[in-house]
A and B are shown apart, each in its own frame.
Chain A
Amino acid sequence: MIDLQIPLLTTERLVLRGPDDSDYENIATFFEDADRSWGFGGPLDRTGAWRWFASMIGHWALHGYGFWMIETKEGDLVGFVGIWYPEGWAEPELGWVMLESGEGKGYAYEAAVQIRRFAYEVLEFDTLCSYILPGNTRSVALAERMGAWHEGDIENVSHGREMVYRHPAAKDLPGVIV
């Protein structure tokens, strides 16, 4: 039995849910667009995107956490945000992707804060980082808005050299109960 047990999370404006068949097309479109996906291991053709989609689902089964699909309350997919820890990653990473439709509205911040809180409160993580490719200024801005700081650099097995942004520990985040 595949027991994904993906918890449904909500924020003021968003619903964070597990992946569904219908998400594949949106994910493939995102990965085909090099301008949007270069900071996330892209571009990938549809074959590569399907593999990533399948791995992303399996990630939930293997770790009990992974990427949530981010929807508005109206049901529009605006991105995916979650915790990613394939073998070869130095530690679990808080990662985010916004589709074009979801940009510029603070959705990524809203979802990422909620997932960071889930990681600390429910998964009982002690720390979290985000790996960001040099030049990905929008991701740096989001990480800094979340209170994360540039701790150093790391060689990623798949993406090459990346910057490590360290998130504040649970005890340093107001409203997070540990």
Chain B
Amino acid sequence: MTPDVTIPTLETKRLILRGPEPQDYPDFKATFTSYRARFMGGPLNAYESWMLYAAEIGHWQIRGYGMWMIHDKVTDETYGMAGGWKPAQWPEQELAWVIWPEAAGHGYALEAVSAARDYFYSQLGWDGAVSYIDPKNLASIRLAERLGATKDKTAKTIDGNDAVYRHPSPTQLSGSQLAHGIEMEIGHYADPLFKPKGWAID
């Protein structure tokens, strides 16, 4: 575990992903103590929320990967978190995300999770990943599907209350129509004149 882990910074079209820092905690707390956190083990009280934020940082040190804070490239404002997550009882390494409620509907999660997945596949040699999603969390299920993940009914769940979405492997993703589609969708969101149709999605 020692020496201290360096958390890489990832840049995308609109976003910069950096390690969680002390000054970002109030944004995290606002979401995790709210109804928005109902699919992520919440809402949490202030103590639980702080301990979870501390664990997000400790996770990087223990596993060598973890969750990034999603920042706007221009304003530095935070929009949520995305990255890899594997606490003790997780059967497999997870691609996870959370978007602050007021930042939903701009495709930020798609852009951030896609960058995190590319990083884990190309830099850390992951051969796949899953996302554990509450079956009632339709926005997250939709995002998993836009990322090309499909429901894996045979995979081990965390505790039986979650659905497992399996992401395409690096080989399945590389140069695929899906990868181009994701890139195109991110491009649309980056266009200031683009108006997404229908329900707001992360």
A-side residues, CB < 8 A to B, are 1-5, 18-21, 24, 46-47, 49-59, 61-62, 86-89, 157-158
Contact = CB atoms under 8 A, between A and B. Distances in A.
B46 A87 contact: yes
13 contacts: A1-B5, A1-B19, A2-B60, A20-B1, A21-B62, A47-B89, A50-B87, A51-B51, A57-B54, A62-B22, A62-B53, A86-B47, A158-B47
A62 B25 contact: yes
Contact of A47 (B29, B56, B88): B88
A52 B5 CA distance: 19
* Max count, chain B CB within 10 A of own CB: residue among A49, A54, A56, A86: A54
Given A1-B19, A4-B61, A54 B50 contact: no
Contacts of B54: 54-59, 61-62, 86
Interface string B26-56: 0001000000000000000111011111111
Nearest to A19: B1
A18 B45 CA distance: 28
B57 interface: yes
Given A88-B45, A157-B46, A3 B4 contact: yes
Contact of A55 (B25, B45, B55): B55
A56 B57 CA distance: 10
Contacts, number: 96
A51 B7 CA distance: 20
Contacts of A47: 87-89
A4 B4 contact: yes
Main secondary structure of the interface of B (DSSP, over half): helix
A2 B47 contact: no
A54 B90 CA distance: 14
B187 interface: no
A1 B58 contact: no
Contacts of B6: 1-2
A56 B58 contact: yes
Interface in B47-103: 47, 49-62, 87-89
B154 interface: no
B123 interface: no
Nearest to A51: B55
A174 B195 CA distance: 69
A18 B58 CA distance: 12
B29 to A, nearest CB: 8
Contacts of A59: 54
Contact of B53 (A20, A57, A58, A157): A58
B2 interface: yes
Interface in B83-128: 87-89
A51 B88 contact: yes
Contacts of A52: 51
Contact of B1 (A21, A87, A158): A21
Question: Which of B50, B53, B58, B60 neighbours the largest number of chain A CB atoms within 10 Å of its CB?
Answer: B58
Nearest to B51: A55
Contact of A54 (B47, B49, B55): B55
A53 B51 contact: no
B47 A157 contact: yes
B34 to A, nearest CB: 16
